[in-house]
Structure 1
């Protein structure tokens, strides 16, 4: 079977020049000195054992050129009549040996080795030989000592490239002439990069993206521009990654650090943003934009003094207004802390909310002041919503402690622990309070909250175990002990109401459920239990009000729908009976 070879176009002028240049260099090197040749190598080696000289299977890899011996035999042509001349040996001792093979299928002829030689010429011939062995073609011609040429493409090994359409005279097996049209580049080369092995891209778009990515990887300014575009589109994670790449290439540009800080701030990673802004200011202390951005970050985090300092360093048009806001935040936080010491919770809440409105919207201290005031004002649901909102701080313990100090972060943690207890998350409350105690063990307030959290959690766990064992009296007492440590806890009140209901003490159950709903109006479990207890007490109107609220909160609950219908029917019967009684009188 005759192997198909790629069509070979006639060489162009550039190609012929390259060929003659290569021949000239080789002849010149042969006529000069024998420093790079083996002086005593015979022109032709005897073939004492032809079988011994048969070539073994060759496995090509990246290091094959380095391991190949210096002697370069001239291969016999295969699958067609092809002749090749070995390079002349030094001092004219070598002789040209030409072998020709017509056809295929016969025994492989012996190969007469040529004179051995070394240096760049030998290395290039080895590369040509490797390519011929792999491709099964002799169309690769060495043009110069520094380049290789395939199909007139100087310096590249390329099977095709994009450009203007050129129709190939040979159609691949199973294809059509139209399907085998290829595009040639306008400059006549297969690739703009010389000395590379280039594969034809699948699509022009993919090639463009690759070139764009490669060029941008070495241009930090382009990466910054790409990051700016991602930022404008709201892709903040991508923007951060691009700014990071730009910083890795050139960390001395303050704009890269400042822009990255803006993207981090948009992701809520404010403490990281502060660190990057500080780096920008360190690199260029006169960088106005970085000062203004850093001042704004400090303001959002409630660090009013630092915010004022950096805002004053900026020449931004809004800097004076921002300084006034920062001063207002500082004043309101001070007033809120003073009111807290006096346990004036209305004032604490009012001033803390005003500070958040003035710009300290992500300050843990300001948010903790608001949550604590809401707890003391028996507005547990609002406190929980505040700390569970998207704008609530989500800083790690280490970074928050380092940034705000031990006391500041411990205060935030004990408030969160109390909010968790109010919402019935006792295990979370204990863990958070324990973390606060580890940070500030000498703080008396922290120690008190930790003990309260542990006692309430233990009481609730013990009460649950007793309730499951149907020991309702003991369970009721256990929940009562927890309420002694954590008064007004909605979960403990509701659980104790369940014990009262099991014991037939529906009036007490209604009282505990009402107490739970005072602090948590959205506590559906307590409202459902109170409605059921009112049914037992035949308080149809009170029960109807609770079921009407529940049907709004749980519109798909079939039990609530059924109970509401029954209560409405009972209330209707009661009213009809009352009307009939009045008519008899």
Structure 2
């Protein structure tokens, strides 16, 4: 007890700081009031507004020694008389003095009172301001102070209301890591993967060196389709326990799905008894298929590329962006645009940065460039430009990808110009604008259909039908082109062709009254036309009989 009484107090440090560095009166604190500050000439300041301004010359602001005073942007030496010190009332008052000293010296207010025994820089108070936030110039201090337990209760109740009822006990009770793992397993078996992940995370916080927790979390991430995240969890489990065979097997299965056959074969071997000979054989077969895909692409043999990419997907490579890009590119080059779109819809969607890190820049850039081409083919021009430019940024050294980005910008610009001219009823100019876009991409069904609309407005119905024919050969399910062709055939009184298109549209656009009405009108016109033809034929036959009698 005697040693404790002899220990120096923090108050001494505060007083030492004040005696060495403070050179001006202490302002009245709104937090801890103290007696009004007194100047060197004995004047009492009744309010903060009467205090000397920091950037103005004043005897109360200048050191008794030779110091630099910045006045109107210039530096000069000033000698001032000593300043009398006001009486220190308490530690709290002295802290207010230190804050004021800092603000006057730095010309800012970056110091805040954190407590009666603390002075901290505002930027270092991590719990008072979130990272990257910009505080308002006039801060309301209570808004930045940590909330008390009483204040936090409503927020905690709201958070609990959002927490699934099944996992709330696991997150509220003090369970050990193994108990949490068992609860997580139950949630996983019920297909509640997000809840399972939350519980596995809690177990990992308690015992981060247990490999099974990481491996189980990977399984739940797979259930949510977050395969790249699952890979990282498996790697962590293996780092903790290199002989954890089940983690090796799960990681190998992930690598198969992602098209990393060589890595899969390696981890199947490390999985020992958890993997079979068939698993290793499958990894080798997938590696051969992917090699054939690369060879077919380099030879531009699109039929072989389509066949081998589909075989790879059937063999279990169901989450490789590159394999789906191979398949989609093959469809594009074979002018099967709808199939290319479906292929990209089936492809996995990963975060761009994570995908680039995992698969490499060239591979991910290739996938994005194919996606851009498919978007162009189906009329998603803004998306196409975005994807192509992203691919060019990821892999700037590729001339092919740079050309695709340039092409996407040109086609999108031509389409936008054509649309604006069409809305202004300048159909000739709009037709030319769409034609300029087709110069960059002659097989673009959307531009062909748009030009057909212009030609229809100009009365060039046969030319419009020709554009629609090309568009429908590229995209048989392109309803807008079929509708336009049906309308143009009706204007040319080619009722049979018009009815054929309307019959298809009724199935594709079930419930559309406009299409049903147009179909009915076409049938009536065809009926009248047929009746007229029969009447003409009968008249011709009677005339022929009269001639024969004569």
Give the TM-score of the pair, scaled to structure 1: 0.62
Partner of residue 338, structure 2: 381
**Would you say 1:453 and 2:444 are equivalent positions?**
no
Partner of residue 329, structure 1: 286
Residues 269 and 275 in structure 2, CA contact (< 8 A), matched pair in contact too? no
Could you tell me how far 1:579 is from its partner in structure 2? 3.3
- Tell me: CA distance 1:534–1:249, structure 2 relative to 1, closer, same or farther (3 Å): same
Could you tell me how far 1:324 is from its partner in structure 2? 1.4
CA–CA distance in structure 2, aligned partners of residues 395 and 217 of structure 1 = 36
Partner of residue 191, structure 2: 234
CA–CA distance in structure 1, aligned partners of residues 261 and 232 of structure 2 = 17
Residues 216 and 222 in structure 1, CA contact (< 8 A), matched pair in contact too? no
CA–CA distance in structure 1, aligned partners of residues 517 and 439 of structure 2 = 37
Could you tell me how far 1:302 is from its partner in structure 2? 0.4
CA–CA distance in structure 2, aligned partners of residues 211 and 506 of structure 1 = 67
Partner of residue 433, structure 1: 388
Structure ranking higher on relative contact order (CA contacts 8 Å, 6+ apart): 1
**Would you say 1:579 and 2:543 are equivalent positions?**
no
Equivalent in 338, 344, 356 of residue 401 of structure 1 = 356
Return the index of the structure with the highest Cα Rg: 1
- Tell me: CA distance 1:300–1:209, structure 2 relative to 1, closer, same or farther (3 Å): closer
Residues 372 and 415 in structure 1, CA contact (< 8 A), matched pair in contact too? yes
Equivalent in 493, 496, 499 of residue 538 of structure 1 = 493
Could you tell me how far 1:315 is from its partner in structure 2? 2.7
Unaligned runs of 5+ in 1: 1-207
Residues 414 and 446 in structure 1, CA contact (< 8 A), matched pair in contact too? yes
CA–CA distance in structure 1, aligned partners of residues 431 and 505 of structure 2 = 26
SS at match of 2:344: helix
SS at match of 2:181: helix
Structure (1/2) with the larger helix percentage: 2
Equivalent in 275, 286, 302 of residue 345 of structure 1 = 302
CA–CA distance in structure 1, aligned partners of residues 322 and 495 of structure 2 = 47
Partner of residue 364, structure 1: 321
Unaligned runs of 5+ in 2: 1-164, 542-550
CA–CA distance in structure 1, aligned partners of residues 200 and 207 of structure 2 = 10
**Structure 1: which 4+ aligned runs deviate by more than 4 Å?**
208-212
Residues 224 and 243 in structure 1, CA contact (< 8 A), matched pair in contact too? yes
- Aligned pair count reads 376
Give the TM-score of the pair, scaled to structure 2: 0.66
CA–CA distance in structure 2, aligned partners of residues 442 and 286 of structure 1 = 41
Could you tell me how far 1:326 is from its partner in structure 2? 1.4
Could you tell me how far 1:442 is from its partner in structure 2? 1.1
**Would you say 1:269 and 2:226 are equivalent positions?**
yes
Partner of residue 467, structure 1: 422
Structural mapping, 1:65-464, within 5 Å: 213=170, 217-316=174-273, 318-389=275-346, 392-464=347-419
* Coordinate RMSD, CA, aligned: 1.8
Partner of residue 5, structure 1: none
